[in-house]
Amino acid sequence: MFDPALSLSGFVVGMLVGMTGVGGGALMTPLLILVFGMAPTTAVGTDLVYATLTKTFGSIQYWRRGQVNYPYIRWLVVGSVPGAMFAVFVLTPQLEAAGIDMEAMTADLLGTMLLIVGIISVLENRFFAGRLRDSQIIRSEAIQRRFKEPILVIGGLVIGITVGLTSVGSGAILMAILLLVSELGVLVLIGTDLVHATILLAAAGTAHFFKGNVEFDIVGALLIGSLPGIWLGSRLAQKIPTTPLRYALAVLLAITGIKLISG
């Protein structure tokens, strides 16, 4: 049954994503849990499918402009896709067999990820793209020539596991890693992040589909609102300052994370 509240929520989240670049998973998954009362594992699976479709549109724009670094994507996928599969098909069943309540654990992990994303969202522009990124350690021959690819693979693996468990991490956390190890322009990094996220979310969403954790009627209702929301938000971002909104969202994510952790 169509729920207008879901479409309205999709519109608001889409507009915020378009304006600030904050990951939709960090906003939508807790919304589905805290406002619509969805079970955490189902909220994660549903959001992964929804986010795959929304990120596809953004990825196409950067691909058309040639703002995608394919070698980076290749190394990230080597770690991230197996990581997501491991999280859904191996780690989760083992935890369930050990008697762990996966719904409670998913909520706690999601809350922790939201805290991390909130902190990174505040620090990204001033810290990762500033003194740290340009430091002698990050720009050293060892990091840039010997360790860059292992960092991308290991970073992808960690992100794949967290995305498989919580749907959060493919945006802000991956962008932080890319900003640290890469000499590429920010727009190319954003495009690379989006294309990789689309691949990872599609893989993790497919895994959750086979686990029965996806509600496609909710995905459809969210898309009805989010696609025009992203379109509007991306245009508003060109006309109004979005930094205060970004900081406000970071605080909101942190508060939401604490709420989920505290139950």
Q: Cα dist. 54→77, 86, 96, 156, 196 in Å?
A: 19, 24, 31, 21, 13
- The stretches in the chain having pLDDT less than 70 are 1-2, 20-24, 124-139, 141-144, 242
Alpha-carbon gap, residue 29 to 55, rounded angstroms:
15
Q: What is the pLDDT of residues 111-166, one digit of tens each?
A: 998 888 888 777 766 655 556 666 666 667 666 677 888 889 999 999 999 999 99
Spatial neighbors of 16 by CB under 8 A, at least 6 apart, are 22, 27, 229, 233, 245, 249
pLDDT of 39 reads 94
What is the residue type of 96? E
pLDDT of 154 reads 92
pLDDT of 125 reads 64
pLDDT of 23 reads 67
Q: Show me where the domains of the chain are located.
A: 4-33+40-262
